[in-house]
Structure 1
Amino acid sequence: MSRRRQVGTRRTTVACATLGCAALALAACGDGDAESGDDTIEIGISLPLTGDFSEPGEGVRRGYELWAEMVNEEGGLLGRRVELNILDDQSNADRVVADYEALISQDEVDLVFGPFSSRLVLASARVVDEYGMLFVEPAGASEEIFEAGYDNLFYAAPAVADDHYNYLFDYIMEMPEEERPDSVAYASMDDPLAQGTAYGLKDKLEEAGIETVADEVYPPNTTEFSGIAAQLAEADADLLVGGTQYQDAVNLIVAVQQLDYQPRMAAFSTAPTLPEFSEALGDDVEGILAPTGYSAAADYPTNAEFVERIAERYDGRIPSEDEANAFTTGQVVQAAVEAVGCAEQGECQQKLIDWLHENTVDTVVGPLSWDEAGRPDSAHFIQQHVDGEPEIVLPEDQATADFIDVKPEW
């Protein structure tokens, strides 16, 4: 583990002239810190608002902003108003490191929330750990992150990437042998989360004797998929698995459609959980599977209110997984802050970290607890588009629709 830098509690001095104090009625006169007069809690965040991950990055921002709004409506955190300081890392790993360095050491934020994507979480976790700060993150599920030895990091979702498809694997193994797919083609972005999700399923299926007939990996900025689509079409696998974000999934599906490759089952990460996916592909989303850490229909505390508030703010939309995991990040940090009674740099951060290692937090994605490396101990739902709507099909006891065994042609 990295040697942590010692950062003291932020202190702000406001000079008050005789006639100026009335105008500064809401500000503290003299020295103030997190325990004695600072009326805000500033949270530093770096998000990919432009670049490869801008689509889900915007979803994470919506979730963070709604959480802050709802907390402030209830009187704030520890009686102090929450303010979000959000920077755009442009989907760039070097930029995200610089952002968190600046947020912590220059802006002296009280708390930090994580960025989007395993690639950016992996890059930023090091600098946050060096400052000894709590790092709850909504979208870094790659196993690399949890093998790095950070005790301050917690993933605000039900399962890590390797386990995202566990329910789908179990379902396939329970199918009659003659109906079970006997070949699989994989196409994945060169990204820790995308590959971790796809290859977690790959490892399990190969161990069970199901053949891999294609395995294509492409750079994050890929927009031309005709060559990869040709390889997938030639392999003609029963099951197509895409380790994807958003735009790459849409482009890949369009490319294989043009070659009339019709897999019996198709599963893609991230993209099918976004409302924009259906808008981009129309009826061709039918039957497509995806792991998701969130269901709008789940009966978890505060979930109904969260769904209602997203609908109010965004023209009736159903919350995406990105919005839910970001909101969950806020809930997790809020629970720790309220339990420990502090929220500032310095010794408080270790108290927050220790509390989360020892407790379970109720969230909109369900109750969360973590192992020593920050891995959650639950499992992802499996979503499928049924009659044009994203439904939960696995596990069966949480299902909102029946599983479609053979995907309609696209």
Structure 2
Amino acid sequence: MNRQRRQRTLPRLAAGTAIAAGTALALAALTACGSSGSSVSAAQGPITIGMSLPMTGPVADVSKSGYQGYELWADQVNADGGLLGRQLRLDMLDDGFDPNQTAADYTRLISQDHVNLLLGTFSSLLNAPASAIAARQGMLYVEPSGGAATLFTRGFTDLFFAQPGTTTSLPDRFVAWIAGLPASQRPATAAYVTQDDPSASPAVAVFRSRLQALGVKTVYYQVYDPNTSNFDSITSAIAHAQPQMIIQGAVADDGAQFVRSLQKLAYNPKILFQTNAPTDEAYPSAIGGADNANGVFTAQSWSPTAAYPGNAAFVSAYTKKFGAPPTEDAANSYTAGQVLAAAVKAVGSLDQKALATWLHSHTVSTIVGPLKWDKAGDPEGSLLLSQWQQGTLQIVAPSSAATTKTVLLTKPAWGNG
């Protein structure tokens, strides 16, 4: 695998440096280095912020926009004088979506590169080992994604999730909406399918449990391999079971692939909820156009139209800098930067324990709304409930953030928006 590093001391990007493919540092190498990233050098150099992202591999597109969110955040901080009077430099390694490489990368960033601060990577799969490395060395770890509930049951006190909610709270607003429907309008049956992923499958399990408690009967349940690209056998079984509602734990392309398979069978559920996949602005075109997306529900950590402080300015600045609107992943990484900067400014140093202590006792204003965490770094909030309507992903709950008062109770037939 091509191993890459990007170091960015803004406003100029330094040349990338190749790293040997076979480099892997054992965790034991950390024991001698202590909390090396926590001390501030007397020399007035840049503050180096380390991260490892899957810039190659199956989620490279996600990581590209995510890294751009980090870049924009660092650009703006540096233009405003930096942090503690020092400019920021991003030190990024490419892990190729390999958890073992992620662990090796964060080990290197701490023990060899001696970065001052860390920022997280993408997916629970990668953030699990990365946050464990950070915890072992007592370094603050703010992650832009990785909301699997299991990440917050390991006793870590330096981990913070920069989204409003995790997999446990992801179903909250949708289930509340179902519960609020008159009994005659509630779906009677449901099918549940999910990728075997630490973020997707636990969320679907929560959906199933809570909807069953409302009287929604489960008629099909299936977990599929992350490499699945042909869903015909799954959708055939679903069509045979005839559920009124389908809940899918989708991660990326599997969301569109699943829908296209349903379309081949002309099976149209009354209600369709998918995690993650529908938040991509390319989702409608991936399933045949806006008419096919009409009525699909999803949960969002961020929306470009949400009226949170700084959000509109973020959307404008990102679009101007990169020539396209920001993705949810870009917004999440930008938010992680906001959280990190707020702590550093408030504490006035790079002391890792002091930064974590401050975050545990304060609320941070971000573009995804105010964030507050419990003792495990689990955010005390819920995600937005959104629905595709006439080519636009509208926020339908909570009412304080809603961009429309309309909710489509029944998803139109495929191709009939």
> How high is the TM-score relative to the length of structure 1?
0.89
Q: Which residue of 2 aligns with 1:392?
A: 395
Is residue 102 from structure 1 mapped to residue 103 from structure 2 by the alignment? no
Aligned to 1:287: 295
Post-superposition Cα deviations, 1:314-361, rounded to whole Å, max 9, x if no partner, equal: 3352x3221111111000000111111123xxxx11111111111111
The yes-or-no answer on 1:266 pairing with 2:262 is no
Report 1:194-213 matches (<5 A): 194-213=200-219
Q: Which runs of 5+ in 1 are unaligned?
A: 12-32
Paired letter, 1:170? A
CA distances 1:184-241 after superposition (whole Å, capped 9, x unpaired): 1111111111112222222210122211111111111222222222222222211111
For 2:37 and 2:135, locate their aligned partners in 1 and report how far apart those are by CA, in whole Å.
18
Sequence identity (%): 36
Q: Show the counterpart of 1:356.
A: 359
Residue type of the alignment partner of 1:329 = A
Deviations 1:148-177 (A, max 9, x none): 111110110101111112111111111111
Q: Secondary structure at the match of 1:335?
A: helix
Q: Is the 8 A contact 1:52 1:221 kept in 2?
A: no
3-state SS, counterpart of residue 39 of structure 1 = coil
Q: The residue matched to 2:203 in structure 1 has which SS?
A: helix
Q: Which residue of 2 aligns with 1:256?
A: 262
Which whole-Å CA distance do the structure 1 matches of 2:230 and 2:249 have between them?
A: 16
Equivalent position to 2:330, from 314, 323, 339: 323
5+ long unaligned stretches in structure 2: 1-26
Preserved contact between residue 53 and residue 245 of structure 1 (Cα < 8 Å): no
Matched AA of 1:202: R
Instruction: Give the Cα–Cα distance (whole angstroms) in 1 for the partners of residues 201 and 253 of structure 2.
Output: 16
Q: Which of 343, 346, 350 is 1:339 aligned to?
A: 346
CA shift for structure 1 position 263: 0.5
CA contact (8 A) 1:169 1:204 kept: yes
Aligned to 2:12: none
Q: Structure 1 residues 380, 10: closer, same or farther in 2, change over 3 A?
A: closer
- Work out the number of aligned pairs and report it: 383
Secondary structure of the equivalent of 2:282?
A: helix
Task: Find the aligned partners of 1:10 and 1:48 in 2 and give their Cα distance.
Answer: 23
Distance in 2 of aligned mates of 1:375 and 1:188: 23
Contact 2:307 2:401 (8 Å CA) reproduced: no
Tell me what 1:113 maps to. 119
- Mark the CA change 1:9 to 1:139 in structure 2 (over 3 Å): closer, same or farther: closer
Determine the C-alpha separation between the residues in 1 that align with 2:333 and 2:35: 28
Q: Deviations over 1:105-137 (max 9, x none)?
A: 111111111111111111222111111100110
Question: Within 1, Cα distance between the matches of 2:246 and 2:378?
Answer: 28
- What is the letter of the counterpart of residue 387 of structure 1? Q
Within 1, Cα distance between the matches of 2:57 and 2:376? 30
Q: Which position in structure 2 is the counterpart of 1:306? A: 314
What is the deviation of 1:35? 4.5
Within 2, Cα distance between the matches of 1:66 and 1:272?
24
Aligned to 2:23: none
Counterpart of 2:52 in structure 1 is: 46
Structure 1 counterpart of 2:340, one-letter code: V
CA contact (8 A) 1:52 1:220 kept: no
8 Å CA contact 2:245–2:270 kept in 1: the answer is: yes
- State the superposition RMSD in angstroms: 1.9
- Find 2:377's aligned residue among 365, 374, 379: 374
Q: Matched residues in 2 for 1:399 and 1:88: separation?
A: 37
TM value normalised by structure 2: 0.88
Contact 2:250/2:274 (<8 A) preserved: yes
Establish whether residue 62 from structure 1 lines up as the match of residue 65 from structure 2: no
Q: For the structure 1 residues 405 and 75, does the alpha-carbon distance in structure 2 shift closer, same or farther, using more than 3 Å as the test?
A: same
Contact 1:332 1:361 in 2 (8 A): yes
